[in-house]
């Protein structure tokens, strides 16, 4: 074997480059000829002298012979890679049908048996089945993507679901740790990291079409009907300054990372947990201004059967609720205000699962208006409110004590008007509790200096502001307390989706600096969530309630591996096969209706 180096010219850029091919000389009836065994990557990075060493080492590995002197690390790494590709290529012969297969016996030396090239295929096979169910490959083909772009798209999506990491780590995983390339019949080792970045740009360009397609296809494939819309926003933090990204902004971080710029994800989920619409918004966006545009994208404006909209308190402003009523939507929301009356229709009764939620509720007496209100008391919320109250009080009073202590220090600020300004800033900083205090600044006799700051807590106000009760409001006036609270409790579905994307799909942190790359990172995460949710829904329908991490751990035990051994005739045999499915994996296959077979075995004797 030897490596042939050929100079070529790129037709588009007119730049010269070299191509490399692994070649062997063979005798034919017409004389000696050269046969191409393998096309290598365009950039090997070795001198012409080392190309000969690389070819020699590839042949040694291929034939199973030992080298007298160890090859340099760079050459050894490339030789192992190309020898593996050569063995795989020579193994790609169409297998006989099972009924035509004959017994195939070989006598081997057990002392020479080695296992090499283990690649995970269990989780990848499951996710690829989900993609096939939703006909994602066909849709991408219809959108004009090439077969290479489709393979890269599936690599990005399945990589995010099976191995959540950055795009750089995903590329390494695709090239050297997973058997997804074998499943797709695509060699990821011949792709670059830039191509993985670029495919997210391509998928982002088709975001609207893909969202509409997936919404309809999921309803058809899984046979459910959707009557609810759950909408909420979350944000995640980005590493770096992100100065070139107009969406990067500092705001209130859900992960307590106020030191980092943020990006906001708006998510619409139906009651079955499937994401229907997403939006990528600035990190300091006001939740109030996003609802109307998001609902419009759902396309229900002219529909007579519009879904019920469920919102958290951050979005349920009076303007948004009026807009929903004016456009014919029903809603159940967490109220931003107290009910117009505290008079209840009856005693508080438990709603939902008392052991899990410990919530009691009662309807507020109806005044004949177009809305009903539900008063809810939560023991868990009361405990959290009590803890928050103590924390907020401690922080505010500590700042007031520091301000007061500064009045007696030699260089402390004492000017009366400046002290009033500082108290105003402290009230704004601690606005959750500052209104519950009566604060007095004692002036000096001339009124120019402040000599003391005194404060007193007003218990009735602190109890009113931080308590364990809340109100729900709806224009579904026929609902009872249990039905109303159960409808609102479904908002947990979208909250769970947010937590899942952040913790299990590697959505945070975002390392990209450009706007389209940040949006692409989030969009790949959302698409991966579609595959996972499709899997979880089918398992739940069969009574298997697992977290995705559990399924991923169960399925990752299936690997594809090559056995290498010396035969009695002195040849080297390579046999590549997939490990057998064990019971935890078979349980998942049976629930989804999948075959346990992952690729057929391949044999090569050289």
Per-residue pLDDT at 56: 84
Look at residue 391 in the predicted model and tell me its pLDDT: 86
Q: Which helix (H) or strand (E) holds 194?
A: helix 193-205
Q: pTM, whole model, 2 decimals?
A: 0.76
Is residue 36 predicted with pLDDT exceeding 80? yes
pLDDT tens readout for residues 315-331 = 888 999 999 999 889 99
Q: Does residue 602 sit in helix, strand or coil?
A: strand
Q: What is the pLDDT of residues 119-156, one digit of tens each?
A: 999 999 999 999 999 999 999 999 999 999 999 999 99
Cβ within 8 Å of residue 353, ≥6 positions away: none
DSSP code at position 198: H
Candidates 229, 234, 365; CA nearest to 303 is: 229
Distances (CA, A) of 30 to 4, 258, 407: 22, 75, 104
pLDDT score of 253: 80
Check pLDDT > 60 for residue 93: no
Whether 94 shows a pLDDT value over 70: the answer reads no
pLDDT above 70 for 271:
yes
Q: Take residue 188 and report the two structure tokens written for it.
A: 């990821």
Q: State the distance between the two ends of the chain, measured CA to CA, in whole angstroms.
A: 14
How far is residue 74 CA from its own chain's centroid? 35
| Least confident range of 113-117, 283-287, 494-498 | 283-287
Q: State the CB neighbour count (10 A cutoff) for residue 62.
A: 22
What per-residue confidence (pLDDT) applies to 258?
77
Residue-wise pLDDT tens digits, 491-507: 888 888 888 888 888 88
pLDDT of residue 96: 45
pLDDT of residue 382: 74
CB 271 within 8 A of CB 254: no
Cα–Cα distance for residue pair 400/70, rounded to 1 Å:
72
pLDDT reported for residue 333: 93
pLDDT of residue 447: 85
The region of weakest confidence among 86-100, 104-118, 287-301, 339-353 is 86-100
Phi, psi of 226 (to 5 degrees): -110, 125
Cβ-contact 215, 307 below 8 angstroms? no
Average of pLDDT values for 421-428?
Answer: 89
Residue 148, pLDDT score: 95
Q: Which of 28-32, 58-62, 457-461 has the lowest mean pLDDT?
A: 457-461
Strands (E), 335-388: 349-351, 359-363, 372-378
Of the listed ranges 40-49, 219-228, 596-605, the one predicted with least confidence: 40-49
Q: What value does the mean pLDDT take over residues 162-182?
A: 93
Burial status of residue 483 (CB atoms within 10 A of its CB: 0-12, 13-18, 19 or more): middle
Determine the pLDDT at residue 388. Answer: 76
Query: Percentage of the chain surpassing pLDDT 90?
Result: 41
Say which residue, 397 or 92, is predicted with more confidence.
397
Average pLDDT value over all residues in the chain? 87
Confidence of residue 65 (pLDDT cuts 50, 70, 90): confident
pLDDT one-digit tens code per residue, 193-236: 999 999 999 999 999 999 999 999 999 999 988 888 899 888 88
493-505 per-residue burial string, b: 16 or more CB within 10 A, e: under 16: bbeebbebbbebb
Would the pLDDT of 409 be above 80? yes
Task: Report residue 48 as tokens.
Answer: 């012409």
Q: Is the pLDDT of residue 188 over 90?
A: yes
Interstrand relation of 469-474 and 330-334 (parallel, antiparallel or unpaired): antiparallel
Query: 563 falls in which pLDDT band (50, 70, 90)?
Result: very high
Catalogue the long-range contacts made by 331-334 (C-beta closer than 8 Å, 24 or more residues apart).
Answer: 331/474, 331/475, 331/476, 332/308, 332/472, 332/473, 332/474, 332/476, 332/484, 332/487, 332/488, 333/309, 333/472, 333/473, 333/474, 333/488, 334/470, 334/471, 334/472, 334/488, 334/491
DSSP per-residue codes, 374-438:
EEEEEHHHHHHHHHHHHHHHHHHHHHHHHHHHHTTSTTS--BHHHHHHHHHHHHHHTTTTGGGEE
Given a cut of 80, whether residue 357 has pLDDT beyond it is no
How much is the average pLDDT of 407-417? Answer: 83
> DSSP readout, 235-301?
EEEBSS--TT-TT-B----TTS-TTS-EEEEEEEE-TTS-EEEEEEEETT--GGGTHHHHHHTTT-T
CB atoms within 10 A of CB 116: 15
Q: Are 150 and 172 in contact (CB under 8 A)?
A: no
DSSP label at residue 111: G
Nearest to 408 by CA among 349, 449, 366: 449
CATH architecture of 207-350+471-541: 2-Layer Sandwich (3.30)
Q: What share of the chain is helix, strand, coil (3-state, %, to 5)?
A: 45, 25, 35
And the tokens for 443? 């002036």
What pLDDT is stored for residue 540 in this prediction? 92
Name the band, by pLDDT with cuts 50, 70 and 90, for residue 92: low
Collapsing DSSP to helix, strand or coil, 32 comes out as: strand
Mean pLDDT of 539-557: 92
- Exposed (0-12), middle (13-18) or buried (19+): which is 387, by Cβ within 10 Å? exposed
Question: Which pLDDT band, with edges at 50, 70 and 90, does 410 fall under?
Answer: confident
- Residue 528's pLDDT is what? 95
User: What whole-number percentage of the chain has pLDDT above 70?
Assistant: 95
Q: Give the residue carrying structure tokens 């982002």.
A: 204
Length of the chain: 606
**77: pLDDT confidence band, cut at 50, 70 and 90?**
confident
Q: Which residues have C-beta within 8 Å of that of residue 487, sequence separation ≥ 6?
A: 228, 308, 310, 332, 474, 476, 479
**Lowest-confidence segment of 232-246, 330-344, 383-397, 414-428 by average pLDDT:** 383-397
234 forms beta bridges with 265
pLDDT for 462: 64
């Amino acid at each position: 074997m030897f490596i042939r180096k050929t100079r070529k010219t790129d037709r588009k850029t007119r730049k010269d480059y070299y191509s490399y091919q692994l070649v062997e000389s063979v005798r034919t009836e017409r004389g000696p000829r050269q046969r191409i065994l393998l096309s290598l990557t365009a950039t090997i990075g070795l001198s012409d002298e080392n190309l000969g060493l690389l070819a020699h080492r590839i042949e040694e590995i291929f034939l199973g012979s030992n080298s007298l002197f160890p090859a340099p690390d760079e050459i050894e790494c490339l030789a192992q890679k190309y020898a593996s590709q050569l063995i795989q290529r020579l193994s790609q012969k169409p297998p006989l049908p099972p009924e035509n297969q004959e017994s195939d016996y070989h006598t081997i030396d057990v002392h020479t048996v080695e296992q090499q090239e283990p690649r995970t295929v269990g989780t990848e096979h499951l996710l690829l089945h989900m993609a096939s169910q939703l006909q994602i490959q066909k849709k991408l083909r219809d959108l004009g993507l090439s077969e290479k772009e489709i393979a890269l798209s599936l690599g990005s999506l399945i990589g995010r679901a099976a191995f959540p990491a950055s795009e750089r780590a995903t590329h390494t995983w695709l090239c050297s740790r997973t058997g997804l390339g074998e499943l797709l019949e695509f060699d990821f080792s011949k792709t670059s990291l830039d191509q993985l970045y670029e495919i997210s740009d391509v998928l982002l360009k088709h975001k609207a079409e893909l969202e509409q397609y997936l919404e309809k296809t999921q309803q058809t494939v899984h046979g459910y009907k959707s009557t609810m819309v759950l909408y909420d926003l979350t944000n995640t933090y980005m590493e770096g300054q992100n100065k070139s990204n107009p969406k990067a902004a500092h705001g209130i971080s859900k992960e307590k990372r106020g030191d980092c710029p943020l990006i906001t994800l708006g998510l619409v989920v139906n009651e079955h947990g499937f994401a229907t619409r997403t939006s990528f918004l600035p990190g300091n966006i006001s939740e109030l201004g996003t609802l109307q545009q998001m609902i419009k994208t759902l396309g229900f404006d002219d529909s007579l059967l519009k879904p019920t909209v469920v919102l958290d308190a951050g979005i349920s402003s009076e303007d948004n609720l009026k807009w929903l009523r004016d456009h014919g939507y029903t809603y159940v929301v967490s109220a931003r205000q107290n009910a117009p009356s505290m008079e209840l229709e009856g005693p508080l009764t438990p709603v939902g699962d008392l052991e899990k939620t410990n919530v009691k509720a009662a309807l507020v007496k109806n005044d004949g208006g177009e809305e009903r209100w539900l008063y809810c008391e939560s023991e868990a919320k009361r405990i959290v409110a009590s803890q928050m109250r103590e924390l907020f009080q401690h922080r505010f009073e500590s700042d007031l004590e520091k301000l007061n202590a500064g009045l007696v220090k030699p260089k402390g600020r004492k000017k009366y008007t400046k002290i009033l300004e500082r108290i105003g800033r402290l009230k704004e900083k601690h606005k959750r509790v500052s209104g519950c205090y009566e604060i007095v600044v004692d002036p000096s006799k001339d009124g120019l200096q402040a000599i003391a700051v005194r404060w007193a807590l007003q218990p009735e106000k602190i109890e009113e502001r931080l308590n364990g009760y809340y109100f729900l409001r709806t224009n579904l006036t026929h609902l009872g307390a249990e039905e109303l609270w159960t409808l609102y409790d479904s908002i947990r579905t979208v909250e769970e989706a947010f937590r899942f994307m952040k913790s299990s799909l590697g959505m945070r942190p975002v390392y990209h600096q450009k706007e389209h790359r940040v949006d692409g990172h989030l969009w790949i995460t959302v698409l991966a969530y579609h595959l996972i949710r499709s899997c979880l829904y089918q398992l739940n329908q069969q009574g298997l309630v697992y977290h995705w991490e559990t399924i991923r751990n169960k399925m990752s035990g299936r690997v594809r591996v090559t056995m290498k051994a010396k035969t009695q005739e002195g040849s080297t045999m390579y046999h590549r096969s997939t490990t057998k499915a064990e019971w935890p994996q078979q349980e998942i296959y049976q629930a989804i209706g999948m075959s346990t077979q992952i690729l057929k075995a391949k044999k090569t004797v050289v």
